[in-house]
Structure 1
Amino acid sequence: MLYKQDDLEIAISTMHQENLEFLFKMFSNDSWKLHSILIVNQTLGIPLVSNYKNIRVLNIEEFGLSKSRNLILKQAKGKLILLSDDDVVFLPDFKTTIIEAFNSFMELDVIRFQFLKQGILAKNYPKESRSELNWFQILDTSSVELVLKTESIEKFNLSFDEDFGLGASFAMGEEAVFLADLKAKKGKLGFVPETILRHPNDTTGTKSTSKEIYQNQSAVFYRIFKQKYVLWILLKLFFDVKQHKIKVQQLKSLFSEAIKGKKAYVNHTKL
Structure 2
Amino acid sequence: MNVQILVSTMHQKDYSLLDKLNIQSDAVIINQTDHHHYSVIDYNGHCVEWICVKERGLSRSRNLALSKAKGDFCVLVDDDEQLRPGYPDMIKRAFDFFPNADLIAFNLASIGTKSNRYYNKKNKKLNKFNSMRYGSARIAFRRTKILENNINFQVLFGAGSHFSSGEDSIFLSTCFSKGLNLYSWTEIIADIEDEDGTSSWFHGYNNKYFVDKGAVYAAMTKYFAIGYCLYFAIRHNKRYSDDVSIKQSLQWMFEGIKAYRNL
TM-score by length of 1: 0.86
Aligned to 2:42: 52
Distance 1:203 1:133, change over 3 A: farther
| Alignment deviations for residues 178-204 of structure 1 (CA, whole Å, 9 cap, x no partner) | 111111111111111221112213444
Secondary structure, aligned partner of 2:223:
helix
In structure 2, what is the equivalent of residue 227 of structure 1? 223
**1:9 offset after TM fit, Å?**
0.4
Amino acid at match of 2:53: I
Match of 1:42 among 18, 24, 32: 32
Work out whether residues 241 and 248 of structure 1, in 8 Å CA contact, stay in contact via their aligned partners in 2. Answer: no
Aligned to 2:247: 252
Structure 1 stretches of 5 or more lacking a match?
Answer: none
Tell me whether 1:127 sits opposite 2:117 in the alignment.
no
Deviations 1:227-267 (A, max 9, x none): 3212211221222223x333385222222111111111111
Aligned residues: 256
Unmatched segments (≥5 aa) in structure 2: none
Shift of 1:224: 1.3
8 Å contact from structure 1 (residues 89, 199) kept in 2: yes
Partner of 1:217: 213
Q: Is the 2:104–2:185 contact (alpha carbons within 8 Å) kept by the matching residues of 1?
A: yes
In 2, Cα distance between the equivalents of 1:114 and 1:245? 26
Relative to total residues, which structure has the larger helix share, 1 or 2? 1
SS for the counterpart of 2:186 is: strand
Change (3 A) 1:105 1:203: farther
1:51 positional shift: 4.0
Residues 60-90 of structure 1: CA distance to partner in whole angstroms, max 9, x if unpaired?
2211111111111111011111111111111
Task: Tell me the residue number matched to 1:10.
Answer: 5
User: Are 1:24 and 2:14 an aligned pair?
Assistant: no
Query: Which residue of structure 1 aligns with residue 139 of structure 2?
Result: 146
Tell me: CA distance 1:171–1:79, structure 2 relative to 1, closer, same or farther (3 Å): same
**What SS does the aligned partner of 2:125 have?**
coil
Q: Counterpart of 2:155? A: 162
TM-score normalised by structure 2 residue count: 0.88
Mapped to 2, the partners of 1:142 and 1:107 lie a distance apart of 22
